[in-house]
């Protein structure tokens, strides 16, 4: 594959210095899928595998000034958004996306870190629902994030589908409701789109090395869409990738350890 044929994928997310989550983890995932990764930092967080101790959010202007030269220089095949901590950040991203249409936009509505720290405020989430979701090819909330978006607690697969359809009504082309954070023996993700519902089931892996699983999954889906896969195939490959990334995790750090973003089996 020559350099000019490599799909370019842009990650817009917070910067986690431990590189387990956020834009640094996104870039590693993107590279693992044979794409060229671009990154825009929306917030500089202070964190490791144990906790998030602080964050300095970027202004809308600094986010816009990061995005503008990238759109001028690159033909971007797909975008993944993660932590958008303020309404101002959401507005800057949405403005850039409207001015520079991209075929695939995967929105991971990150609200809380793996260690339990709140990462965005309510106004930011409301702005994402109102302005960003209608631009999305796919929105990938976990059960807790879906509850925060809809105000309905997800308790089982039946309520999960109801909540996913409510999120779909906000305008995205599809919703993938992730069930990996729920205490059950099966990790089931539920895709809902206008064509119906698909369940992706896998046996739960009991591991502490799960820092940044949502970031990796959404970035992997964006990469596979950029490479021409269908959404259903992209999700299946991304889910297997995350599974392998957990199973082969390096086991470093004293808290929720990072994944192996370059597992031997990646499905590409």
The one catalytic residue among 178, 179, 239, 257: 178
Count CB atoms within 10 A of the CB of residue 172. 24
Beta bridge partners of 15: 22, 44
The one catalytic residue among 81, 214, 223, 239: 214
The one catalytic residue among 212, 223, 239, 257: 212
The one catalytic residue among 42, 82, 215, 239: 215
Q: Is 188 a catalytic residue?
A: no
Q: Is 122 a catalytic residue?
A: no
The one catalytic residue among 20, 179, 210, 239: 210
The one catalytic residue among 14, 179, 213, 239: 213
Which of left, alpha, beta for 79 (phi over 0: left; psi -120 to 50: alpha)? beta
Angstrom distance (rounded) from CA 258 to CA 12: 19
Q: Is 213 a catalytic residue?
A: yes
Count CB atoms within 10 A of the CB of residue 34. 14
Q: Is 34 a catalytic residue?
A: no
End-to-end CA distance of the chain: give it in Å, rounded. 13
Both structure tokens of 175: 């919703």
Q: What are phi and psi of 84, to 5 degrees?
A: -120, 90
Catalytic (active-site) positions: 178, 210, 212-215
């Amino acid at each position: 594959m020559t350099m000019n044929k490599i799909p370019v994928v842009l990650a817009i997310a917070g910067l986690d210095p431990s590189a387990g989550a956020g834009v640094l983890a996104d870039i590693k995932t993107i590279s693992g899928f044979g794409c060229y990764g671009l990154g825009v930092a929306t917030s500089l967080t202070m964190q490791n595998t144990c906790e998030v101790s602080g964050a300095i959010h970027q202004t809308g202007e600094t986010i816009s000034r990061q995005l503008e030269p990238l759109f001028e220089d690159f033909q971007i095949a797909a975008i993944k958004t993660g932590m958008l901590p303020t309404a101002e950040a959401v507005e800057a991203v949405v403005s850039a996306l409207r001015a520079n249409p991209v075929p695939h936009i995967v929105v991971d509505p990150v609200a809380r870190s793996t260690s339990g720290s709140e990462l965005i405020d309510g106004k930011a989430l409301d702005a994402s629902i109102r302005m960003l979701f209608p631009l999305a090819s796919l929105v990938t909330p976990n059960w807790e994030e879906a509850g925060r978006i809809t105000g309905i607690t997800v308790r089982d697969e039946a309520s999960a589908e109801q909540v996913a359809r409510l999120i779909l009504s906000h305008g995205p082309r599809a919703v993938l409701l992730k069930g990996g954070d729920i205490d059950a023996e099966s990790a089931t993700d539920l895709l809902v789109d206008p064509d119906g519902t698909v369940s992706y089931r896998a046996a739960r892996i009991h591991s502490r090395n799960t820092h940044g699983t949502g970031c990796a999954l959404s970035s992997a889906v964006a990469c596979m869409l950029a490479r021409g896969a269908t959404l259903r195939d992209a999700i299946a490959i991304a889910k297997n990738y995350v599974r392998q990334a957990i199973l082969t995790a390096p086991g470093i750090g004293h808290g929720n350890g990072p994944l192996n973003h370059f597992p031997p089996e990646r499905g590409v």
